């Protein structure tokens, strides 16, 4: 069997070096403990070191300012869809009927807005209906001065829509960013942000861990109905060990962060991701509409690149053949999300230039074999 | 370095056979996929098969009746401490001010009661103050006929207090059981139960997965503030794939369930656990108060066996020496929980009779070296 090329959207490819190290010490962490990380008490000194080192590496690599706390949580990004309004609703200037602003640029921000409606009045400053072709950056948005926060998803995994920089917000209204699918793939500016969160299963390791980076002054005013596992205050007071966390996912994120540091950090990754995505978009744009990506160029994702084959809406039989032949060539995870169809190539930090080139070569060969 | 004997309370020892299989297919699941389970989409057919097989195995091995749904959730047992009242409070006959009954037999049921107070009026039918020496089984409890449910923890990990069978409840008031630390260690009778839940990091694999087994008629009346990740209704409607679950933890639980099936199921494990715990308690009880366990005999845990060394309250310097020498002999995880001190031996399903014997031999040797 040849090598498998994983272009899945998440859980996704983990860097080879990380997987090899994890396998090597799978039964005996660090070669000295005699047990696996999986079997280790979350209150042991070995695991305590993993937690503190993970937080330090994340702070260093992401350049997180000192007035932000790093919380290691349960529940995935979807847990935060509830956690955000539960923790922040008290910051709305409308105490009778708290509100928050949401920029809906795709499925994930849409899902976040829907969940938030359980807890406050959601106002959509932007609502990109399908096919979610992009987002203006905020200077035309009608923002609510009473909003507890302005929410956005920095990269929409399904629609391939990425903010090139954070949207503008009103003074004193913090931004909340879901960075699940582009964390540490490019420089991130924390200015104006209140909460920055992500699941780790795309760019930072495995499923099961959620990281919330929360500005200190926003901790402690959660709604009384906030479950402890979603309460920034309760988790912070207990150094994210209020209860047993997803220990192995934390360990894998630690290894991924070491890998990021060792290959040259986010600066290096940003360069690589620009090159990889440029190669793919050029292949698409130079195909004479054989491959089509409709996203506004300024908002095209460098992580998730959806496209259709054969026409703007895609020809289903051609796309099915594309997927079948790609799978036969060892390239998996290329099927577009069921809500939008087509093809999607996810090229997270772990996907190399060589792997991207392999996909591009296949695309060109596929096109040439259908151009007679 | 000699073998390490892991008597930790959780995350805990995972059966050797499970760990070896997991390591073997760590980089290439099933030897055919070319990728790790860690890198697999939760919506792939391979992972879908793992989910459905996990649920089937659990239903078979635990003999779960057909009118219960199995939900694979986030958040640990602590997540359920909020999830239970959020999902069930509407079943209280007091709709103005919902109530629930709690049997507090140790730290975990105490923590569950505390979290539940966020959402309803908690009435404690039993409140064992420290040192939590056991629990009457319920026929003397003053139960509230309006209670939404009667909550108990089937095995208190910290205090070593285990219910020999479920407590009695009033007609129409469902029992809710936290079985995190003794699931599948003995036969479990679902009669009268509404919800049975556990974290998987003690007897079923790794941290990160929470299993809730919920009677169908209790699904769908959750409070509007229930986060989706804790909503039985939303998780059930999406076959526990509402969002990305802790995929690797599910995989490990699947392997542990296969192991349980292959060694003879819960019947075999119940026999082994009776033998292992009997050996340890006999060693304690026959030590002439050199080792002391204070729990009422009917309520002594077969999974977690706390004891003091030197006297009823324990002699700190002797206990420190015990731990130091045990560690030197490769036996780890024996320190009692920080809230109660002393020693605790956790002998979950994965801990063998030979390992238990090794600990007993050490205890006898330690005593003999202090009996002059």
Among this protein's residues, is A141 annotated catalytic?
no
Torsion angles phi and psi, residue B272, rounded to 5? -60, -40
Cα gap B82→B264, rounded to integer Å: 35
Taking every pair of C-alpha atoms in chain A, what is the biggest distance, in angstroms? Answer: 66
Identify the closest residue of chain A to B114 by CA–CA distance: A228
pLDDT tens, position by position, for chain A (372 residues)? 589 999 999 999 999 999 999 999 999 999 888 999 999 999 999 999 999 999 999 999 999 999 999 999 999 999 999 999 999 999 999 999 999 999 999 999 999 999 999 999 999 999 887 555 556 666 678 899 999 999 999 999 999 999 999 999 999 999 999 999 999 999 999 999 999 999 999 999 999 999 999 999 999 999 999 999 999 999 999 999 999 999 999 999 999 999 999 999 999 999 999 999 999 999 999 999 999 998 989 899 999 999 999 998 999 999 999 999 999 999 999 999 988 899 999 999 999 999 999 999 999 999 999 976
Q: Is B229 on the interface with A (CB under 8 A)?
A: yes
Cα gap B102→B97, rounded to integer Å: 16
Burial class (CB in 10 A: 0-12, 13-18, 19+), B280: buried
Comparing CA positions, the residue from A2, A79, A4, A3 lying closest to residue A333 is A4
Distance (Å) from the C-alpha of residue A286 to the closest C-alpha of chain B? 31
Beta strands in chain B, from DSSP E residues, in sequence order: 5-6, 68-73, 99-104, 121-127, 150-153, 155-156, 161-162, 175-178, 193-199, 210-215, 291-292, 304-309, 331-332, 343-346
- Look at residue B131 and tell me whether its pLDDT is greater than 60: no
**Predicted complex ipTM:** 0.97
Cα gap B172→B194, rounded to integer Å: 10
CATH number for domain B33-262, candidates 3.40.50.300, 3.40.1710.10, 3.30.830.10, 3.40.640.10:
3.40.640.10
Cα gap A327→A306, rounded to integer Å: 17
How many interface pairs between A and B have CB atoms less than 8 angstroms apart? 203
Element at A213 (helix H, strand E): strand A210-215
pTM: 0.97
Comparing CA positions, the residue from B47, B203, B176 lying closest to residue B100 is B176
Identify the closest residue of chain A to B19 by CA–CA distance: A27
Cα gap B39→B239, rounded to integer Å: 21
Catalytic residue among A101, A141, A146, A202: A202
Residue A314, both tokens: 């895609």
pLDDT tens readout for residues A327-350 = 999 999 999 998 889 999 999 999
Distance (Å) from the C-alpha of residue B201 to the closest C-alpha of chain A? 8
Q: Is A119 on the interface with B (CB under 8 A)?
A: yes
Beta carbons of A5 and A330 less than 8 angstroms apart: yes
pLDDT tens readout for residues B306-342 = 999 999 899 999 999 999 999 999 999 999 998 889 9
Q: What is the pLDDT of residue A135?
A: 62
Q: Is A83 on the interface with B (CB under 8 A)?
A: yes
Q: To the nearest whole number, what is the mean pLDDT of chain B?
A: 95
Torsion angles phi and psi, residue B214, rounded to 5? -120, 130
Comparing CA positions, the residue from B168, B167, B170 lying closest to residue B147 is B170
**Which chain A residues are Cβ-neighbours of B323 within 8 angstroms?**
none
For strand A210-215 and strand A68-73, is the pairing parallel, antiparallel, or unpaired? antiparallel
Q: Which residues contact A41 (CB under 8 A, 6 or more apart)?
A: A47, B8, B9, B10, B11, B333
Partner-chain residue, chosen from A244, A249, A330, that has the shortest CB–CB distance to B76: A244
Residue whose entry in the numeric block shows the structure tokens 């599910």: B250
Cα gap A361→A325, rounded to integer Å: 13
Q: Is B328 on the interface with A (CB under 8 A)?
A: no
Residue whose entry in the numeric block shows the structure tokens 């009457």: B136
Cα gap B351→B331, rounded to integer Å: 12
Measured in residues, chain A has a length of: 372
Angle between helices B76-88 and B107-116 (to 10 degrees): 40
Domain borders along chain A are 33-262, 265-368
Q: What is the pLDDT of residue B91?
A: 98
Q: What is the rounded average pLDDT of the residues B272-301?
A: 96
Q: In this complex, do B75 and A26 lie within 8 Å of one another by their Cβ atoms?
A: no
Taking every pair of C-alpha atoms in chain B, what is the biggest distance, in angstroms? Answer: 66
Measured from the Cβ of residue B81, the count of other Cβ atoms closer than 10 Å reads 27
- Which CATH architecture describes the domain B265-368? Alpha-Beta Complex (3.90)
Partner-chain residue, chosen from B83, B244, B330, that has the shortest CB–CB distance to A207: B244
Its sign, for the CA torsion B30, B34, B40, B46, is: negative
Identify the closest residue of chain A to B6 by CA–CA distance: A35
């Amino acid at each position: 069997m040849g090598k498998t090329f994983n272009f899945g959207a998440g859980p996704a490819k983990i860097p080879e070096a990380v997987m090899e190290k994890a396998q090597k010490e799978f039964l005996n962490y660090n070669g000295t403990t005699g047990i696996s990380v999986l079997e280790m008490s979350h209150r042991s000194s070995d695991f305590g070191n993993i937690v503190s080192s993970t937080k330090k590496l994340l702070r260093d690599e992401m350049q997180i300012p000192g007035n932000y706390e790093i919380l290691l949580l349960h529940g995935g990004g979807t847990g935060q869809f509830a956690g955000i309004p539960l923790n922040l609703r008290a910051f709305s200037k409308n105490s009778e009927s708290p509100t928050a602003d949401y920029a809906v640029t795709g499925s994930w921000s849409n899902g976040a807005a829907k969940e938030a409606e359980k807890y406050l009045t959601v106002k959509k400053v932007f609502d990109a209906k399908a096919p979610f072709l992009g987002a203006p950056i905020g200077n035309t948005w009608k923002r609510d001065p009473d909003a507890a926060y302005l929410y956005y998803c920095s990269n929409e995994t399904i629609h391939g829509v990425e903010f090139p920089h954070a949207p503008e917000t009103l003074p004193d209204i913090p931004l909340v960013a879901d960075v699940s699918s582009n964390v540490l793939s490019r420089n991130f500016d924390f200015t104006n942000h209140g909460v920055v969160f992500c699941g780790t299963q795309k760019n930072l390791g495995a499923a099961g861990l959620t990281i919330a980076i929360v500005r200190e002054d926003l901790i402690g005013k959660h709604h009384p109905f906030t479950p402890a596992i979603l309460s920034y205050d309760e988790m912070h007071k207990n150094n994210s060990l209020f209860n047993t966390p997803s220990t192995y996912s934390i360990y894998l994120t630690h290894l991924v962060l070491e890998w990021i540091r060792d290959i040259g950090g986010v600066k290096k990754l940003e360069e690589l991701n620009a090159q990889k995505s440029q190669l793919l978009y050029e292949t698409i744009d130079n195909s004479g509409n054989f491959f089509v990506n409709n996203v506004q160029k300024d908002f095209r994702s460098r992580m998730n690149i959806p496209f259709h084959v054969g026409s703007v809406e895609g020809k289903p039989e051609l796309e099915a053949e594309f997927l079948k032949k790609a799978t036969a060539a060892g390239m998996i995870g290329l099927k577009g999300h069921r809500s939008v169809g087509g093809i999607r190539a996810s090229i997270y930090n772990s996907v190399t230039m060589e792997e991207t080139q392999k996909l591009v070569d296949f695309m060109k060969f596929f096109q040439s074999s259908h151009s007679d």
